[in-house]
Amino acid sequence: MAETSDRAQLLQNMKNTPFQNKCCKATSAILSILLALTTLVIGSVYLNECTKQRMIPIYLIVMGCVTIVYIIFNVIMKSVSCVENNEDWLPGDVIKGIIIFFQFSWFIAGSVWIFSTFQPNYNDPKSGDYCHKVVYLYAFSITVIAYIFVGLMCIIGSCCALCAASLARNAADDQSES
């Protein structure tokens, strides 16, 4: 019987992830805004410094702006839903979905621009295959890190889902036996 309550407690704890903590959410939002601002600034500073693929700095500018808009919109949505007694705001969810779809599509386009330009000429600005080292390596790095992050989240999410399903099945088996 104590084992069953331990499993139930574990399942309850799995539902209360650290990402539901307000402090963790605020820290994540601040770090995301700082990263988006950095992306925006680097894209703006080096706007005309990538002749091999002129879309790379534009990709950074747009991605930075859209990320900032998404975070601000998310904060506004949360504050509106708190005022409205935590009711879901459907138009806000539709707008949020459109922003996420655009970010995903823009990320794929940026990946194509970045990876098809791999190893541009960093030394001769007059060359047709020149790209400033800072803008290219920054774009390349954040894109690779994003892919790694998504991959890890998929693996961790799958493992958590398998564990939760196993625990839920065992809890259901324990209840049917009693």
Residue 12: inside a domain: no
Q: Which percentage of the chain shows pLDDT scores above 70?
A: 83
Residue 2: inside a domain: no
- Contact at 8 Å (CB) between 95 and 16? no
Q: Token pair 């799958």 is at which residue? A: 158
| DSSP-derived secondary structure letter, 120 | -
Residue 11: inside a domain: no
Tens place of pLDDT per residue across the chain (178 aa) = 455 566 566 656 655 555 567 788 788 889 999 999 999 999 999 999 999 999 999 999 999 999 999 999 988 887 776 555 555 567 788 889 999 999 999 999 999 999 999 999 999 999 889 999 999 999 999 999 999 999 999 999 999 899 888 888 877 777 777 6
| Cut 0.85: pTM above it | no
Residue 4: inside a domain: no
Instruction: Look at the chain and report how many structural domains it folds into.
Output: 1
Residue 3: inside a domain: no
Domain that holds residue 130: 18-177
